[in-house]
Each structure stands twice: as C-alpha cells, then as structure tokens.
A and B are shown apart, each in its own frame.
Chain A
Amino acid sequence: MSVDLRSAFFYSRKDIFKNIKIFIIITLSIILATANIIVINGLIDGMIEDLVDNTVESSVGHLNIYPDNNERFIEGIGIKEQRLATLKEVEAYSPRISATGVLSNKELSVSSTILALDPDKERKTTKLLEKLVRGAAVNPNDKNAILVSSRLAEDLKLDVGDEATLAFENGIIKVYNVKGIIRTGNLDFDSSTVIMPMDEAYRQLAIDNMASIILVKLSDKSMSEIYKPMIMQNLDVNNIRTWEEETEFVSNFANSWRSISSIISGVGLIAAAISVGIVIYINIIHKKRQIGIMKAIGTSNAFIFTVFLMEAAIFGVIGVFIGDSVGYLAIKYFEANPFLDAISQTWISARFEPQLFYIATIFSFGVTILAGVYPAIKASRVEIIKAIWGT
C-alpha cells in the first residue's frame, strides 16, 4: 500500500497551522539556527580575510625576498631591483633594512626595531605609510626625521615634534625629530618600531646596496605561488616566501575561530532540533487517540510516519528559507557597514560565500528532519485499540 503524499501533506499542513503560536516559536528557532550559521561564519570569514588583507597591505608583500640562510642582508639590490622592474607581473617592490636599536626620551628607553625603507617605493608596494595617526610621513632625503609606532610612542611619552635619541646596534647615537606616529594594528609592530629613510639607515649602519628584505607586489596576488620560482630564477635568490606563508599564523588563528563558530552553530542547531522534536513528540502524545482513529479509518503505519515527518519537513522548509534570507540580509548589512576592531584597529566586515548558504540549508534542514524521525516512528507504532480507548 503506497503512501498518498497529497493526503499526508494535507493533514500535516492542517496540524501544523492549527496552533500559530507554537508554529512561530518552532519556526523562529530554526530561523535563528540557520541565520546563525550564515552570520557567524560570514563574520569570521570576513574578519580573517580583512586580517590577512591588512597584514599583507601593511607588513608583507605578495612575495618577500629574504637573504640566503646564514646571511643577514641581500646584497647587490640595485641589480635585483633592475631585474624586478623588467618583469611585467611585478607591479612594485620595496627593499627594507631591519636593525635593532634603543629609542630613548629623557630617562625612558625601549629596545626597538629600526625599519628603514624608501618611502616612494614603499607607497607603491604597501599601505604602511597610510597608517599614520598623527604627523607626516618621512621623505627619502630626511636625515633627522623618524616615525615612531603608536605603542612605542606611548611608552616613551613621545609625540609629533618631540626629539628622541636612537642608539644603533653599532653604537652610534643620534637625536631624531619625531615626524609622525604610525599604527598598523599589528601588536608587535606597534610596540617597538622606528621607521626611517633607507639612505639615513645606510649612513648610520655604514652599509650600502643591501636590504634585509625586498617586498614584491604582484599584479595578481593569487598567482604568488606561480611567480615565486620565476623570480627565484630571475634574481638568483633562494629564499622567497609567499604572502600565504607569511600569514600562516592568521590561518591557524582562523582555524581556531572556525572551530568556535562550528560549536556555536552546532549548539544552535541542536537547540532547534530539540524544540522541533519535542513539539512534534508532545503533539503526538496529545493526539494518540486521533492517530488511532486515523489508523482505524484505513491509514497505514507508513502514512502516519510520513505525516509527522512531513510536519518536520514543513517546519524545516519554512524555517530554513526565512533563516537563509535573514542570514543573507545580515551579512549584506555587515558587508556594507564594517565595524572597527578595537584590538587590531582594523575595519572588519562580513563575507557572503554561496557555500555558506548551502551549508546552512543542508545542516538546518537535515537536523530538523532528523528531529522529526523519532516522534514519527513513535506515532506510526501507536496501537489502534490502546490509542482509541486510551489504555
């Protein structure tokens, strides 16, 4: 005896909508669980992408050329820059020098990282110099001007226009004027960095035509793995890291957040499933006699099972559809209205990926159906005589 789906749907629909308050509560729990999956994951995806973008834009290039192992500097950067300039995939590049020093203001002193760069090349390669919070950027020819990172400036009570003493690693000490305060959102960078023009660093460190790193900006950052061997060959260098490798720490951080979001989504789904299951189960207990009558007039066990599973499916279809829509609208809102992360001082927005939609739909609907299986089995096994006579 086949199950007449039309009749099953007819009865399920009538049964579900007989109590509109219960219907709204159940549907709401599915809506929230579904939207929760989309919003939480969309926000985390957005946060991770923004973090990566921010890190890549301010601290690393798409490809970063390092000195060979056991070497401190890349030598002969003039020729390397010329070769980079001939590669059409390379949009810009910026050599940097890294050194250590101690920055002091009166009796306060803090160990610092000296970052020397060519402001013009840096502007074409990263957005580091756009992260000024006060003052102005250094010029290539500045001999007495430095930029101080925000936390370092706070620790040394420095501000724009103040004088600070910088002791280089080779023992040279020089007084500089603080031209600007910079904040990137990277805690390490912001707590200890002094930025100065490349030529001034060359003078004080008594070196030339060298760099600690060359940042390379590509026309398409997704092609970094492909261009890496080509640049290694062209520049005769062995130590290049892509932006993905440089931001690996963000991926680890992202995985932790994704685990947390899975737990949050899972809890939401379980809560929705329990409420759907309980409501259908209680409904079945309350209408045991009616189920008995339904069987007495000629419905099969399979029909009863289908009726109550269909109720779960109707809850699922309506709840998931609205939940998907609410989740989508929320993500679009956060995309259009990013919020400022107080810790990293970066703007964070959400991202909508179609697979979020599929995941939310499949999981929410699947869990809702599963929640209906046990009550539906219980209903189908109701014994007619016991049900009708309430024994």
Chain B
Amino acid sequence: MEIIKTSNLKKSYMLGNVEVKALNGVDTSIEQGEFVAIMGPSGCGKSTFLNLTGMLDTPTSGEIYLEGKDVTNMNSNMRAEYRLKYMGFVFQFFNLFNELTVMENVMFPMMLNKRSNYKERAKELLNLVGLGDRLNHLPSELSGGQQQRVTIARSLANDPKILLADEPTGNLDTASSIEIIELFRKLNQEQGQTIVMVTHSPEIGGMTDRIIHFRDGTIEH
C-alpha cells in the first residue's frame, strides 16, 4: 500500500530577488513498511523533500498524498495534529528539550497526544533503544549517540506510521552511526515502520531497502 505519494512537487524560495528552485517537479511513491534512503549532493533538495512530506513546510505547487489522502492544503493546526499522531522526526542535530530528562523528552509527545500510559510506554521505548538505565538523566549528560537514540525513542512515542530522519547519523562517529541504522532496521522489520531517511553516506544508504537519488531538485532515474 502506497503511504507517501508526491505529484509534480515544486518548491522555490526567493533569495533576495533571485528565485531558487529547491524542488522542480518531484513524482515519487513510497510503500508502507519501506525503509528508503534519499541521497544526492548538497543542495539537491533532499531535506526540502523531507520537510514537505513531513508537513513541516508547504509546497509552491504540486500535491502530497499521505495514505492516499491529499494533505497539501491542510491548515497549520491540522498539519500539527497529523504530525503529532502519524509522524515521527529525527534530525541531524539531536534536538532534545534540554530542560527535560530523557524520560520526560519521550513522554512529552504522548502527553500532547493525551495518551494515558505514557510513563510505561516511555520506559518501554527507552529500553528498546538501550537507554533504560538513563531515564532521569538530562540530555547534556549523554553522548551524541545516546542523545540521537533518545530522539528516536521520542519519534516513536505515538506509534507513528511514518518516520522521517534527516541525516540522523550526520553528527555521529561510525560506530554510533551503525548502531542507529541497525536500530532503524530493527524498527522497520519488527514494527513495520515506514522510514524515510536523508543521508550523504553511501554505506548507510546501502543498508536500506531502496535509495532515491536527487539531483538539481528532481529525482534522478
């Protein structure tokens, strides 16, 4: 079943008086349960594509379909609700809430989603990413790899159908990077999570089901 589909997706920015075309008509389709890598040189539109499919930004033109539903013109409140309930995000910079403990970082999206058993679920997720013994630590007390694992646990909090990761290993050493990708693979295989990951690394990309190559704002065939 097709979970993400884009049709003639375009995004352009104004840089002073100059129009920069970040995406120039992207047609793509991702199946439910796929683990897909988006690759390409810097500035080719990988992150822009991820931001648009993650409803963090709005396209200049074209359509985005999630689970067959056109979400292109949803208002900001509806997009926020959709992101909360159906999407998980992992960014390159670990982006945890510094004032919250590891456990609270993972609990927070569940509290927003008004889930009842959020404490148990947070512990369960942190055990899953191997941080069951770091529940009450602050992010500043963890290594980069550990922080990224907390981010992954947080992204899974509301059992999202789609996990979007923008260079999740970009700031990690090789050992930590492999650990994170193995974790993604495990989630993909055991929980059927659809994962779309932007990466520069061919090695990391090679560990996924499929690679979509971008160049100059379009998909390279």
Contact = CB atoms under 8 A, between A and B. Distances in A.
Nearest to B154: A297
B77 A1 contact: yes
Contacts of A296: 54, 56, 83, 89, 91
A298 B51 contact: no
A286 B83 CA distance: 24
Interface stretch (A137-145, A173-181, A209-217, A287-295): A287-295
A300 B77 contact: yes
B40 to A, nearest CB: 18
Given A296-B54, A385-B57, A1 B108 contact: no
B100 interface: yes
B114 A298 contact: no
Interface residues of A, number: 25
B76 interface: yes
Contacts of B109: 297-298
A65 to B, nearest CB: 74
A6 interface: yes
A301 interface: yes
Interface stretch (A10-18, A196-204, A269-277): A10-18
Contacts of A341: none
Contacts of B154: 297
B77 to A, nearest CB: 5
13 contacts: A1-B77, A4-B111, A14-B104, A293-B89, A295-B80, A296-B89, A298-B83, A298-B113, A299-B84, A300-B80, A303-B112, A384-B56, A388-B56
Given A1-B77, A14-B97, A297-B154, 4 more contacts: A1-B80, A7-B111, A14-B100, A293-B91
Interface of A: 1, 4, 6-7, 10-11, 14-15, 18, 289-290, 293-303, 384-385, 388
Closest 10 CB pairs of A and B: A298-B84, A18-B99, A298-B83, A7-B111, A1-B77, A293-B95, A300-B80, A14-B99, A384-B56, A1-B81
